[in-house]
A = this chain, B = another copy of it.
């Protein structure tokens, strides 16, 4: 047991350590999220009602973009310095440490977004009762984004224009998450209740957890060849 968990724990511990050591990165992902959200009033105009009605959407789109931007770093460094080759030569199953990397990545970049989102929502004057739904939808949704994004990151590893190609590949896949995520908040606000959306997000998370790591492992193996 502990034998097989070896690479999993090692990768998780190292990636969290790296996130801590390079905490500027983590803060900056967060800062990006905050800044994008704050840009909107400048672009769209400062009318409170309009802002309030687009707030869940803007928050979700910003969270999605922030996740997306942090994704290309998921394997890039390890690819460039040869660590990925070494991991692929590990006798343990690839899927294990792939999951570890994704989990570490989410803890370092996704979780802070989830935690800070309510504060931003208040800036847009979103009703306080909806904040819980917002947090819950982000907490379920951003891991899905990370899992799907990891597949894209593995596929585009080392390609010219990789970051942008990644965006093109995964954004269509992100759309349903965005729809249900922003939809959850909206339907709570409109009184319909967000249960169905949240359930779907939960189901999506389980599905992504089952499938994405396998696809990601396969893509990584192809990428180093």
Stretch at the interface among A8-16, A59-67, A125-133: A59-67
Contact A168 B35 (CB under 8 A): yes
Min CB distance, A140 to chain B, in Å? 16
A31-B45 Cα distance, complex, nearest whole Å: 26
A164 within 8 A of B: yes
Contact A43 B28 (CB under 8 A): no
Q: From DSSP, what is the main secondary structure of chain A's interface residues?
A: helix
A175 within 8 A of B: yes
Min CB distance, A58 to chain B, in Å? 7
Interface size class of A (residues with CB under 8 A): 35 or more
Contact B39 A164 (CB under 8 A): no
Q: A23: nearest residue on chain B (CB-CB)?
A: B161
A44 within 8 A of B: yes
Contact A58 B44 (CB under 8 A): yes
Min CB distance, A161 to chain B, in Å? 3
A182-B25 Cα distance, complex, nearest whole Å: 30
Residues of B within 8 A of A73 (CB): 163
Given A39-B64, A69-B69 in contact, is the A167-B25 Cβ separation under 8 Å?
no
Instruction: Give the residue of B31, B65, B160 whose beta carbon is less than 8 angstroms from that of A24.
Output: B160
Q: A177: nearest residue on chain B (CB-CB)?
A: B42
A91 within 8 A of B: no
Residues of B within 8 A of A175 (CB): 39, 42
A15-B161 Cα distance, complex, nearest whole Å: 14
Min CB distance, A117 to chain B, in Å? 14
Which A residues contact B (CB, under 8 angstroms)?
22, 24-25, 28-29, 31-32, 35-36, 39-40, 42-45, 50, 53-54, 56-58, 60-61, 64-65, 69-70, 73, 159-161, 163-165, 167-168, 171-172, 174-175, 178-179, 182, 186
What are 13 pairs between A and B in contact, CB < 8 Å?
Answer: A22-B160, A24-B159, A25-B161, A28-B167, A31-B168, A36-B65, A39-B171, A40-B61, A42-B182, A43-B56, A44-B58, A50-B53, A69-B69
